[in-house]
Amino acid sequence: MLERVQKELQYWLTDPYFDDRTKEELLTIRNDEAEVTDRFYRDLAFGTGGLRGVVGAGTNRMNIYTVRKATQGLANYINRNGDPKRGVAISYDCRRMSPEFAKETALCLAANGIRVYLSDTLRPVPEESFALRYYHCQAGVEITASHNPPEYNGYKVYWEDGAQITPPHDDGIIADVNAVASYDEVKTMTEEAAVQEGFLSYFGKEIDDAYMEALKTQIIHPDVIRAMADDIRIVYTPFHGTGLVPVTRVLQELGFRHVYVVPEQRDPDPEFTTLTSPNPENPESFELALKLAKEKDADIVLATDPDADRLGVYVKDTKSGEYIGFTGNMSGMLIGEYILRERRLNGTMPENPALVTTIVTTNLAKAVAARYGVHYIEVLTGFKYIGEQIRIFEELHSYHYVFGLEESYGCLPGTHARDKDAPAAVMMLCEAAAFYKQRGLTLWDQMQNIYKEYGYYREAQFSITMKGMEGADKIRLLMERIRSNPPKAFGRWQVEEFRDYASGKVLELVSGKEKETGLPKSNVLYFALSEDAWCCARPSGTEPKIKFYMGVRGTSLTDATAQLEELTKKVRKLAD
């Protein structure tokens, strides 16, 4: 291994293909054996979600060379399995090297004879999904590392339906990326030549305007917004990312008059200087927003992650005067329950409506869907599988997608995009806030009403980070250990079903019967437990960690919280 790593390092240090800046960076770490090994022990993996890694020089890093190489594989796949004339839409976020990576992607595709529409500034994930469908593109690329720490960047690939790649295209693109054995195979051209030859153009205001109009078609009660717009106070932070323009614009155009943006986090900043983490799942990330909320007496506090596909929420409890943080399950179901109920009541629910969620999302979704007569579908973890269902519905003329959500702070009302859409979620949550305030309720009041009607569903998760080659091996061995000797109980909770999504098998423990999961193969282990509880283990697809999820249904918030703490302790023993 070490000999191969050193050989690759020398190639990068001596070959004229690599620029001086890259070589200078490598010279500073050439005597650090562990660092050199981590940078060169493998090629940065191109998985079903594309690329994601630390920015830097080396084969296991995000840099212009690994981005070009991945793009050459994508170009090869499009030229064989798609229509290069339809083109590829490319957007990017605020991260280190995002504009450079986007341009390198565009120029490689152009050099391969593929039409390219390149965003003229940073734009969020949902607008990328919208743009590629607006232009009827064959594919799309968003340069982003979502909510990862600042040292990361990534490369998400979308297909013609606007969703991130799913089978068979994900496997085909991965194979073509892996087949690019040498940097000598990678094509590129100058920006000037790409424009002059008609392969490269830029998009901007046209897409922004069309996206805004698409968002606003999802509004259910514009009259309520008009009546209450002056009574709702909203604090918002884009976490230095892409959400500022679309979020503030849609709220302004809807008529909300009191929207306060956290000034310290307003502007794009690849270092996320004011944050320990640009992740709306982390309570500490809301410190500045909550401070401003108290100054402005805000009803709701909203944060979008750097690529604006996730939404974090705090709402004011007028009884205590405190702000209560919502999980992604809570905010998603508050929006989802509002949409399903109000569309049923005002007659705008489509025929054969469907709600789509993932296997690690709250079981509350199933209960709410049943209450409003909406078909309920569970898919694998990852919003791309929710987006895929929209395409399947349209092809089969079976169901009409109404709403989709996943536990990781992402949802999508409507079908204008095929990925998580934080600006749309902000819009719907603010409409709901206006609707409930008109009736004397806060969003926290309504969340409690939902719990009282359906049960007190609570969920949690934890992750164990295991970096590098050794960490990846530990994660593999841990999953194998759980898979080969699955628990039959987690304390008071008996395992009723054990689902191994890698084998595609479900074992019913009481009857001993075995059946198929009905979903694609994936390295996920799921335990359906007694009392409507559950837990799940899966390696992250984008970070060097293994994730554990768990959920319970209690008789009160106190009961559900106690149950969740107890179940979490039992699940943690899986990793011992």
Cα(206)–Cα(209) distance, rounded to whole angstroms?
5
Q: Is residue 99 within 8 Å of residue 79, measured between CB atoms?
A: no
- 302 forms beta bridges with 236, 313
Query: Is 146 in the active site?
Result: yes
Write the CB contacts of 135 (distance below 8 Å, at least 6 apart in sequence).
87, 89, 117, 203
Which amino acid would we find at residue 518? G
Angle between helices 64-81 and 169-178 (to 10 degrees): 130
Cα(171)–Cα(188) distance, rounded to whole angstroms?
24
Q: Which two tokens stand for residue 455?
A: 């049960």
Q: Closest Cα partner for 243 from 423, 412, 416?
A: 423
The helix/strand/coil state of 315 is strand
Run of H or E residues at 244: helix 244-254
Sort 221 into a burial class: Cβ within 10 Å, 0-12 / 13-18 / 19+. Answer: middle
Cα(511)–Cα(518) distance, rounded to whole angstroms?
19
β-sheet with 233-237: strand ranges across: 258-261, 233-237, 300-304, 311-316, 323-326
Q: Which two tokens stand for residue 25?
A: 């960076």
Handedness of CA 136, 141, 142, 145 (dihedral sign): positive
DSSP classification of residue 265: G
Handedness of CA 45, 167, 360, 338 (dihedral sign): positive
Radius of gyration of the chain, Cα coordinates, nearest whole angstrom: 24
Catalytic residue among 119, 146, 408, 522: 146
Q: Is residue 65 within 8 Å of residue 8, measured between CB atoms?
A: no
Supply the residues annotated as catalytic.
Answer: 146
